[in-house]
Structure 1
């Protein structure tokens, strides 16, 4: 009996040992490629030319391609098993991949993309979510998720993807790599599955700016030319207001790096909202279907909507017939959007074309040949795996607003990592005019060491000063919490946070004005009027405070005073439609 028990324990021990060994092997296998690859292969470069000819420019480099690029003898899978099942193997390798191989690089595999490359999340229910090497509990971003993961995990030197609405920029930002979206039409799309014909751009990512530049010179077929420094670097202040990442961790890094390399006179500040309102008149004319039935008054939000409409419309033109005939098992998260029929009228299509042309002209006019626009790549840190945050309206709106600038205009954009915040990668993006790819690649190579140096210095300085956060900083934190509560329609909670900010810094007009907005939502008009008056006393040019006080006074029956507030708002901002309509309405009724 004792012998039988001993044998049983031996068997149990061996079984547990086997399970532990298998688990370790499985974990090791996952760690080795981070789930980045869908298929391993090898395309070898041609032999090196004999001396005295120079070796191939990409000799010794390895790369991977998203599963959107044709490679002879392999099915291009499009992140969807039903697509792979219903399509033949490619009869030839796409020119982009051939160019890189002939340039001396070795292609080692195809990487995972989001299903039908239609998401920016990096989660594919059929092939799994590649593990983000920079933050394992966070999403890697998409659609070219595996491409960025392969680079971040040092599995390849660079990788290729397609950027339609952020497919290369987002995963690069979330995984901490440098990601480049080329100018629309700058790189051939032959042999690549089309997503949205007028938005698609070939992109690539790398960890080394020199490799990024070398790859760009090969793909763009750039002849030698002297390098130019930027003459103007525009900080898009309102874009950074959309970001949940601390402004100083990004903007201050760019400012200090620019001052060190090019001098402070190069720096400019710009409000893109105001600029686009004046330079892109076709935005006002676009009357397409609005998301959730809501009309966006913001030009940035409207740009995001236009981009989404174009993508959906052109995706259906390219692949709607296949979806309707095969009826693939799509992820519910994207099936509704993909299958919802969008039929843009001829007028709306012409409006979209006009917006694209106007955007291109507007950015060309602002940036010229040697200007750079600085914006956040994304509005959020990479969300946690399985988080509902990625489906929230604010995440979608703010992220797509930022991504739409380059996608709609056709400009080139690069995302540059700037270290970590809350143990997650953070980044900044540079945009230059369409066709300025060489200038952007050269500038990134020049600025990259300085940007990393400043990011490190700021991070170390922030750690040492965390214990002595100033009252002004604490007030800003409380205000941001109030803004978030306001967006979530938690008016009383927002008032509490704004009141906390006012206690810490009572000389900031914005805090009073924001609290007044929350009071208005609760119908507390006397409190709203008092806060607006305080804000105006602190800042005579605070247009929002005049508008909000005018609204409060109108509700209190002080019509003459309300009209005066609306009229003064018009003096400060003559094109403000809300002030104009309110003043005219009250004038007709009460005068």
Structure 2
């Protein structure tokens, strides 16, 4: 699909940088979400007033530089939801990129342009970010491989951060082989062939997914159980699974209020109604509520360590819903975002690595299956993605 039809790149920009002459990614091209610095260009963050109030970057973001050094070239800056506050891929200023797998449906955000460019074949891979689900959501909706790494595993230098205790650098590819090649460069670590000791299927996470999602992934789970000796069911939460997104919202919203408050006060920028609504409270969350959320995050991390010790991985739907229509009502959009966070909050709260794998379909629409690993187990998750692909997943 052509660049003009996809609308994945930021309008009015032409950002191209040649990679090194040789390296493990030589000859490949990648797109850069418009939150990453590219030297000589303004990092626009999906909002024209942000772009107008900031100077061009002096150097490349760490992630962009390491990929350039590995031989890949930058093919353009891609659209993001406004200041990365969104999970559907909608940008009122720059347009909504097309989901090549389901053109009438949203691509997922906030790394929407990067996912669209990869799924549409414009680039070999793309950089995205993930604070509350911004790589995992478009990975599932657009049928891609995607990584949200262990928090802090990939340097965020040169990235416009949103919520520092949640922000991560992630990426998208169309196939498992490329997923491994790019991952080895960004992680600065070889991707081996070791498989996890056990796969835990989170029944409470599957329980909050829509029937269409659960039905699409059931055959994949059946194959996992048939091909891997150690697959068993468990509950993630030792209480109510709804507590996870509730506390994640408190912490992430508090942090992004702190990040953008001064700029909003100085510039009085133009926002879409959805983004403006996120700042309506001016960050006045009671400290007691923040303290409760922080205490819950510690317990959530302990719970994850308990489950995933001894090299286990947690299996769950990437998204509890299918992508909604591009022309959905605002109320539908808000409900969809709320549902998405029900599952993306898990890795966000715990800082755990998570991969989304394009293993399911529902009526032709992609459905992602996720694996969450132990802290630092990013390369092992990627190895698992490659092992599943070598065994013929998703098709028997």
Common topology (TM > 0.5)? yes
After TM superposition, give the deviation of residue 254 of structure 1 in Å. Answer: 2.7
Question: Gaps spanning 5+ residues in structure 2: where?
Answer: none
- Cα distance in 2 for residues equivalent to 1:429 and 1:60: 30
The reply to whether residue 42 of structure 1 matches residue 8 of structure 2 is no
Shift of 1:87: 0.7
- Of the structure 1 ranges 387-396 and 98-107, higher mean CA displacement relative to structure 2 is found in 387-396
Aligned to 1:217: 184
1:30 alignment counterpart: 4
SS in structure 2 of the partner of residue 416 of structure 1: strand
Alignment RMSD: 1.9
Equivalent residue number for residue 254 of structure 2: 313
- 1:257–1:451 CA contact under 8 A, matched in 2: no
Q: TM-score, normalised by structure 1?
A: 0.64
Q: Tell me if the contact between 1:253 and 1:451 (Cα under 8 Å) persists in the aligned partners.
A: no
Corresponding residue number in structure 1 for 2:221: 254
Residue 174 (structure 2) aligned to one of 185, 188, 207: 207
4+ runs deviating over 6 angstroms: none
The aligned counterpart of 2:30 is: 63
What is the match of residue 538 of structure 1?
none
Q: Please, which of 142, 145, 164 is the counterpart of residue 197 of structure 1?
A: 164
Distance 2:132 2:9 in 1: 22
- What is the CA distance between 1:92 and its match in structure 2? 1.1
TM-score, scaled relative to structure 2:
0.94
Residue pair 2:191, 2:379 contacting (<8 A) in 1 also: no
SS of the residue corresponding to residue 108 of structure 1 reads strand
SS of 1:343's equivalent in the other structure is coil
Q: How does 1:476-495 map to 2 (within 5 A)?
A: none
> Aligned residue for 2:50?
83
The match for 1:376 is: 317
Select which of 456, 464, 477 maps to 2:395.
456
Q: Deviations over 1:96-148 (max 9, x none)?
A: 11001001111111100001110001111100010110011000110000000
Deviations 1:336-359 (A, max 9, x none): 122322234444444333322222
Q: Give structure 1 stretches of 5+ with no counterpart.
A: 1-26, 49-55, 278-298, 458-591
Q: Which residue of 2 aligns with 1:268?
A: 232
Q: 2: distance between equivalents of 1:29 and 1:212?
A: 23
What is the DSSP-based 3-state SS (H/G/I as helix, E as strand, rest coil) of the residue aligned with 2:14? strand
Question: Deviations 1:542-575 (Å, cap 9, x if unpaired)?
Answer: xxxxxxxxxxxxxxxxxxxxxxxxxxxxxxxxxx
What secondary structure sits across from 1:250 in the alignment? helix
> Which protein has the larger Cα radius of gyration, Structure 1 or Structure 2?
1
Instruction: Tell me which residue corresponds to 1:110.
Output: 77
Deviations 1:388-417 (A, max 9, x none): 386367534432110100000000111111
Q: 1:390 to 1:189 in 2, by over 3 A?
A: farther
Work out whether 1:335 is the aligned partner of 2:276: yes
Corresponding residue number in structure 1 for 2:375: 434
* Larger RCO (CA under 8 A, 6+ residues apart): 2
What are the within-5 Å matches in structure 2 for residues 353-502 of structure 1? 353-388=294-329, 391=332, 395-450=336-391, 452=393, 455-457=394-396
Q: Tell me, yes or no, if structure 1 residue 145 matches structure 2 residue 115.
A: no
Whole-angstrom CA distance in 1 between matches of 2:26 and 2:115? 21
Q: How many aligned positions are there?
A: 393
CA–CA separation in structure 1 for the residues paired with 2:305 and 2:29: 35
Structure-2 separation of matches of 1:327 and 1:393: 24
